[in-house]
Chain A
Amino acid sequence: MEQRFNDYIQNNRDQFDIEEPNSAKMWEVINNSHKAKKISLPVIIARVAAVAILLLGITGVVFNAQLLPANKYVLAKYDKQLGEREKEYVAQVKQKMKLIKSNKTDDTEIVVFLKNELSEIDTVYNKVVSNIGMSGNIESIANTIFDTYEKRLLIMGRIINEKQKQERDDRSLTIAMGTLTID
């Protein structure tokens, strides 16, 4: 019975797009947002120059944040058990990173967004690690470090999920319709 209900919905999927959106109003917002992004050439040149200078300085950092996640062992010298736990997290991160790298699909907007989130977690992680010697409470610092690992693993899971879905879609669509080409 359950399958019949699901099949009914999936086989008639288009019929369920019933509600009429306020297209004109929504387009106005979208269109205005793009207009706002169109800025003058001198401003663009100045921004490009500034970004280029900045990139020279931080390329290595960003690269590490997105592709080489925190995988240093910093807790072992303070506490053996915490060190072991850290080691487990690092292993899990490395395993997920391997999966991400093995998927050759291009990064979609969502994946880019998720990678930026990873980068933000790295910033938090680096801040915590840089304070490790200054605090007497190593357990509290360790918990924060583990928390960043938990979050990192969750986001990496979503990236893998997205990339696998993209791969499946690419494959099934290529089989079903042949390939659309865009120069």
Chain B
Amino acid sequence: MTPDNKEISQIIKRCCKGDNSAKFKLYNLYVKQMYNTAIRFFNNQMIAEDIVQESFIAAFDNIKKFKGDSNFGAWLKRIVINKSITEIRKNRLQFEELTDSVSNTFSDNNIESDITAKQIHDAVKELPLSARTILNLYIFENYKHKEIAQMLDITESTSKTQYKRAKQILFNILKPAYYGTEV
């Protein structure tokens, strides 16, 4: 059973005092969520594990700076995302602005009954890194294009066109699953 906010607050207090079992508890509460965020960015188990490990180490090192009136999961998630972006930028990934000629013939009237979360998750991992990064930040992590542009040092318009491209590729990957036939 997931602990409520009060319990999490108690666990964090113990972490602040250096209680290792509390850290382990907190780790177990959030590791799956953080790992899935990282694996969606990198589609590589080793890199995702490194990012998550570094993020937890940084979080525990700085846990006294965590303000109790905000959500620990959201705080930790931002560390994971920032570390992921730093890693992506290290590889000097190019985000090019694309022409806005995307067309979608995919209809998602019954998307929840026809396509599973796993199929979407797997399809996201198949996207090219630049498209995947922007789609992840926009849809899964709820960042705005303006914020994504700042984070990745690209223009807002590049973020938007890359996002549209990502959606197009994603839908093309999902089409067979959705219609039941190869398209």
Q: Is the CB of A16 within 8 A of B71?
A: no
Q: Indicate whether A88 reaches chain B with its CB closer than 8 angstroms.
A: no
B77 CB to closest chain A CB (Å) equals: 10
Q: How far is the CA of A31 from the CA of B22 in the complex (A)?
A: 12
Q: Chain A interface mostly helix, strand, loop or mixed? A: helix
Q: How far is the CA of A98 from the CA of B33 in the complex (A)?
A: 36
Hey, which chain B residues are within 8 Å of A41, CB to CB? none
Number of interface residues, chain A, beta carbon within 8 A: 52
Given A9-B139, A21-B32, also A182-B16 (CB < 8 A): yes
Hey, which chain B residues are within 8 Å of A183, CB to CB? 13
Given A16-B117, A165-B78, also A8-B108 (CB < 8 A): yes
Hey, which chain B residues are within 8 Å of A12, CB to CB? 112, 117
Q: How far is the CA of A166 from the CA of B139 in the complex (A)?
A: 19
Q: Indicate whether B176 reaches chain A with its CB closer than 8 angstroms.
A: no
Q: Which A residue sits closest to B74, measured CB to CB?
A: A169
Q: Is the CB of A17 within 8 A of B5?
A: no
Hey, which chain A residues are within 8 Å of B71, CB to CB? 169, 173
Q: Is the CB of B36 within 8 A of A17?
A: yes
Q: How far is the CA of A180 from the CA of B75 in the complex (A)?
A: 14
Which of B55-63, B92-100, B126-134 forms contacts with chain A?
B55-63
Q: Which of B56, B60, B70, B118 has the most CB of A within 10 A?
A: B70
Number of interface residues, chain B, beta carbon within 8 A: 61
Q: Is the CB of B108 within 8 A of A5?
A: yes
Q: How far is the CA of A86 from the CA of B84 in the complex (A)?
A: 33
Show the binding face of B for A, using Cβ within 8 Å: 5-6, 8-9, 12-13, 16, 20, 23-24, 27-28, 31-33, 35-36, 39, 45, 48-49, 52-53, 56-62, 65-71, 74-75, 78-79, 82, 104, 106-109, 111-112, 117-118, 120-121, 139-140, 142, 147, 150-151, 153, 167
Q: Which 4 A-B pairs have the closest CB atoms?
A: A182-B68, A21-B35, A17-B36, A15-B117
Show the binding face of A for B, using Cβ within 8 Å: 1-2, 4-6, 8-10, 12-13, 15-23, 25-27, 29-31, 33-34, 105-110, 112-113, 154, 157-158, 161-162, 165-166, 169-170, 173-174, 177, 179-183
